[in-house]
Amino acid sequence: MLNNINIKPSANTKFIHFCKKNAMKGMVLLLLWTNIALIRAQQADGISFKKISSENTIIEKGLSQNWVLSIFQDEESFMWFGTWDGLNRFDAYSFEIFSKEEGLSSETIRAIFQDGNKLWIGTENGLNAMDMHSGEIQTYFSNPLDSTSLTNNLINHIFKDHLDRLWICTAAGLSEFMHDKNEFRQIFSRDYGNPMRSNHFNMMTIDKENNFWIATNYGLVHFVLETGVVTRYFSKPDDKASLPSNQVKTLATDENGQVWVGTTHGLARFLPETKQFERFELLEKRDAANRQPDITSLAWENGKGLWVGSDGDGLFFVDRATSYIESYTQSHSRLYSISDNRIQNIYIDNQGIIWIGTFNGLNKIDRNAPRFRLYRNDPTQPNTINSNFVWCFEETKEDEVWIGTDAGISIFDQTKFNFRFITSNHGQSNTLASNQVRSIYKAPNGLIWIAHATGDLAYTMKKMANSITCLTA
């Protein structure tokens, strides 16, 4: 019995020819017995997410906790991950976990940054400086009676500017660390008295003019430190060239020094020529309120574009050249989808690997790693292989592969990008004796031999695949 189904073509679609002779059957069983269906090699025409969590079974010791709040790579290329319950150092094989027992002021790690021999660790209760050689930790706290202390104990972001000054964004202002005095200079550390303003600073970045941009809970701040000139940008309901929302959570600068802004109501790019904002609609389907994602993290990938993390709507990518927007969401039916739609942090390391911290584990994208496409049987979808238990392969001609499963034979045409099926039909002759196909072999004379788990043997001419001759004991 033959049925035709179509499969969407993609670039460089070629099956790896796993076996040519029956002697390779054991290798096929080893690779495919664990119900992983059919995998084909794929170029960079898709994104696969590798997941790491506290329950990881590949890495000897997983994350301390799955809610990943902050990510950083140090000068020795170790990766650091701050979670809701502990700081994790990753050497690509295992995690070393730091907690209050090692001297941290809190185990909820919100920001990480290295400055020389110090690893600065911002938490929900104080700032920590870890000596990278000795591991000794010094803690810093806010003291309302001391103007040289932190502005607040809730640390949101740690940033180093072009003059090597270290800045700490807190829930009640900005602090500059004075290395020579081991103390802080407080900036914007008091309420303004105007309810339209906020000194809850979420993040800061620097533009091509070396001026500061600060994300606050009420508006975006442009700050020229040398002159003290402050310009604030707000959302205006009737002005689509204004900020999408007044609660600005995250910022990024691209390779041209342009500033991207993530708010609770979407993404925008600042246009310095007009002092206005260009908004990007990330969601195709909008509700009556014209909802856009709550943006939690931004990361610019040089030469490619902007990665955008959201709280509940997944991950987005804005292409640098075309402004085309791609979305990535968690799906139980896709093995290599992102682990959670609630994105907390995005970080790109010095090898170009993209790390994504979510509410439910850590994900990484390596564009240079070998990529595979998974073909899995899905009873609700017609465009799937007929079974996830794959026993053997045989390339019957250059662009056609016969695949033996426990549900018959799937024939994949690599030029038309479709599957055809050969199955057993009891009561009819010239069909498979059994759907339990264990081996397929194309002989030099053109006959295709098929062996079944029942011990039956069959053959067919390549041009008459719907006519099967069975040989039984």
Distance separating alpha carbons of residues 41 and 131, to the nearest angstrom: 45
Do both 312 and 407 map to the same domain? no
Q: Tell me which residue range forms the domain holding 30.
A: 4-44+374-471
pLDDT for the residue 33: 35
CATH number of residue 327's parent domain: 2.130.10.10
DSSP secondary structure string for all residues of 22-49: GGGHHHHHHHHTTT--EEEEE-SSS---
Type of residue at 354: I
Do both 146 and 240 map to the same domain? yes
Distance separating alpha carbons of residues 343 and 337, to the nearest angstrom: 13
Do both 383 and 342 map to the same domain? no
Judge contact between 473 and 455, C-beta under 8 A.
yes
Give the count of alpha carbons within 13 A of 104, CB side only.
24
Which burial class, exposed, middle or buried, applies to 329 when counting CB atoms under 10 A from its CB (0-12, 13-18, 19+)?
middle
Give the count of alpha carbons within 13 A of 439, CB side only.
17
Structure tokens at 204: 């800061």
Residues making up the chain, counted from first to last: 473
Do both 356 and 323 map to the same domain? yes
Do both 10 and 140 map to the same domain? no
Query: Which residues lie below 8 Å from residue 453, measured CB to CB, with a gap of 6+?
Result: 406, 434, 436, 437, 438
Judge contact between 110 and 91, C-beta under 8 A.
no
Query: Which residues lie below 8 Å from residue 327, measured CB to CB, with a gap of 6+?
Result: 282, 313, 314, 315, 316, 317
pLDDT tens, per residue, the chain with 473 residues: 344 333 333 333 333 333 333 333 333 333 333 333 343 333 234 677 787 777 654 555 678 889 999 999 999 999 999 999 999 999 988 899 999 999 999 999 999 999 999 999 999 999 999 999 999 999 999 999 999 999 999 999 999 999 999 999 999 989 999 999 999 999 876 644 333 367 899 999 999 889 999 999 999 999 887 788 889 999 999 999 999 999 999 999 999 989 999 999 999 999 999 999 999 999 876 665 678 999 999 999 999 999 999 999 999 999 999 999 999 999 877 778 899 999 999 999 999 999 999 999 999 998 887 666 667 787 877 767 888 899 998 888 878 899 999 998 988 887 777 788 888 887 677 778 889 999 999 888 888 888 988 877 776 755 555 566 776 55
For 22, phi then psi, to 5°, come to: -60, -25
pLDDT for the residue 175: 94
Do both 132 and 246 map to the same domain? yes
DSSP letter for 30, please.
H
**Closest C-alpha among 72, 50, 90 to residue 361:** 50
Give the count of alpha carbons within 13 A of 184, CB side only.
28
Distance separating alpha carbons of residues 449 and 21, to the nearest angstrom: 11
**Closest C-alpha among 360, 358, 253, 342 to residue 298:** 253
Distance separating alpha carbons of residues 325 and 302, to the nearest angstrom: 16
Do both 74 and 38 map to the same domain? no
**Helix H or strand E encompassing 31:** helix 25-32
Judge contact between 247 and 258, C-beta under 8 A.
no
Do both 369 and 384 map to the same domain? no
Distance separating alpha carbons of residues 330 and 76, to the nearest angstrom: 32
* Pairing mode, strands 437-442 and 118-123: unpaired
Rg (CA), the chain: 29
Beta bridge partners of 184: 177
Do both 84 and 128 map to the same domain? yes
Do both 30 and 62 map to the same domain? no
DSSP secondary structure string for all residues of 436-458: -EEEEEE-TTSEEEEEETTS-EE
Do both 379 and 349 map to the same domain? no
Structure tokens at 348: 């790109």
Judge contact between 311 and 296, C-beta under 8 A.
yes
Cα end-to-end distance, the chain, whole Å: 24
Do both 422 and 303 map to the same domain? no
pLDDT for the residue 317: 96
pLDDT for the residue 99: 94
If one counts the domains in the chain, the total is: 2
Judge contact between 63 and 362, C-beta under 8 A.
yes
Q: End of a domain among 358, 373, 388? A: 373
pLDDT for the residue 193: 38
Type of residue at 227: T
**Helix H or strand E encompassing 420:** strand 418-422
Distance separating alpha carbons of residues 265 and 245, to the nearest angstrom: 5
Which residue blocks in 211-355 are alpha helix, DSSP H? none
Judge contact between 198 and 216, C-beta under 8 A.
yes
For 23, phi then psi, to 5°, come to: -65, -20
Sheet holding 390-397, edge to edge: 4-6, 418-422, 408-413, 400-405, 390-397
Type of residue at 449: W
**Closest C-alpha among 248, 247, 211 to residue 231:** 211
Q: End of a domain among 373, 392, 427? A: 373
Sign of CA dihedral 134, 135, 136, 142: positive
Q: End of a domain among 373, 407, 438? A: 373
**Closest C-alpha among 128, 126, 121, 132 to residue 151:** 126
- Which of left, alpha, beta for 77 (phi over 0: left; psi -120 to 50: alpha)? left
